[in-house]
Amino acid sequence: MVSLSTLCRYLRYKIEYSVEVSMKGYRRGQISDIEVGDAIWKNIFQGKLTFMTWNKGEEMTPAIAAQGETLLVRKLPAANPTHVFIGDLVVLKDPEKSNNYLVRRLAATEGYEMASTDEKDEPFVLDKDECWVLADNDKLKPKEAYDSRLFGPVSMSSIIGRVIYCLRTAVDHGPIQNSPFGMQKDSPILEVELDVDEMARKGKTET
């Protein structure tokens, strides 16, 4: 049973998410000022803070060991330093194929100096709203890993969520190792919204 303190933290995150998403829609002209309040309440009472997706390759081994594994992802209203942290496993829009999504490890953010192992490449500093993402599988070459070593820095705004749980089989599943800050923020969401049986059912449907 979920404790009262956990439930309170969960509700706080849900309200924060609902407000930020609704205000983002308002600033983009997607909803009017009259509709903002309704959008906030709708998100609070009907929305969830997570969604499911499926792994499509071996780039994130060993954190995600095989293709077809079911992933639970926490939605992020904005990928800024209060929501996402270096070391997090994130879902982001593919910089070269806008309809696709990638799962990669957030390795650096704006202000970090990046240096290559190739002496021919000049060091550079990540600009504002830029980040560097990497595959976990160190056995893959950069081209095979398909990460920032191949396509370069990506916009933080392309990050839509943080992977918080992985289901391999009905008996082999568990939380993802993210940054300590990320795992602390995600713990009440896991306690409230994690449903392993539902993940298993949807995983079977997908495969």
Helix crossing, 4-27 with 36-46: angle to 10°? 140
Tally helices (H) and strands (E) across the chain.
6, 10
The active-site residue out of 9, 74, 104, 105 is 104
Residues composing the chain: 207
Q: Which two tokens stand for residue 47?
A: 């929305």
Q: Is 9 a catalytic residue?
A: no
- What residue ranges in the chain does DSSP mark as E strands? 50-54, 70-75, 89-93, 101-109, 113-114, 124-125, 130-134, 154-155, 159-167, 173-175
CA distance 66 to 115: 31
Q: Is 113 a catalytic residue?
A: no
The active-site residue out of 58, 59, 130, 193 is 59
Catalytic site residues?
A: 59, 104
